[in-house]
Homo-oligomer: A and B are copies of this chain.
Amino acid sequence: MLEFAILGLLHQSPMHGYELRKQLAQVLGGLRSISYGSLYPALKRLHAAGYVTTDEPDPRAPLPADAPPLTGRRGKVVYTITAEGKERFHELVGQAGPETYDDDGLFGVRLAFFRHTAADVRLRILEGRRRTVERQREGLRASLSRTRERLDRYTLELQRHGLESVDREVRWLAELIDRELTDGQGRRDDGATPGDPPAQAPPGP
C-alpha cells in the first residue's frame, strides 16, 4: 500500500521524506497518517528495488572520529522516481483484483490516485469494493439480529453505529458508481498510451 502511494506521489514530483509524509496524510484524508517507522523502511525497500533514487548518496561512512558533538552531517535526501518506478506504478495502477478493494487502506489510496486510473479499472474497483462492504454489512446484520437479545445496551449501540457506518459506505459507493456511469467516458491524464481508441472500455448504460 505504501509502495503504491509513495510511487504515486513521487510520480508527480521529487520530494523529501518529510514532505512525502505530509502529502500522504493529506491524501489519506487527515486521519490515518503514516509514521516514519513505516515510511523510511518503505523508501529503503523502494530504493533497493530500483524504483527510486536519492541524491546525497552516503557521506556517512568516511568520518570515523571527527568531532564528537558534530558527527551527524545529516543531509537532506530528495527521492526521485526512476523509469522502473514509473513502470511499476503503471503496472500497479492497472490492477483491479480483490487486493485493491478488500483492504481499507489500499482502497483509499487507490481512490486518491483515481485520476491516474483507467475508467474501466475505476469501475471494477468501485464495484468490487461495494461487494466487499455489502458482504460486511450482511454479516453484521446477521450477527446483530442473532445476538440482539443477549447484548447489553452499550455493545448494542456500538454494533448499531458500526452497521450504520457500513450502510452509509455502501450508499456512498453506489453513488460514486452511478456518477462514474453517468459521466460517461472517463479519461486518465497519465501520459501513457495517449492514443487509446475510444472503443471497448465502457460497458454502456
A83-124 CB contact bits vs B (8 Å, 1 = yes)? 000000000000000000000000010011011000000000
Spell out A's residues near B (CB within 8 Å).
26-27, 29-31, 108, 111-112, 114-115, 136, 139-140, 143-144, 147, 152-155, 157-159, 161-162, 164-166, 168-169, 172, 176
With known contacts A147-B26, A165-B165, A157–B176 Cβ distance under 8 A: yes
Chain B residues near A147: list those with CB within 8 A.
Answer: 26
| Closest-CB distance, A184 to chain B (whole angstroms) | 14
| Closest-CB distance, A188 to chain B (whole angstroms) | 12
Chain B residues near A140: list those with CB within 8 A.
Answer: 29-31
Q: Give the complex CA separation of A155 and B110 in angstroms.
A: 10
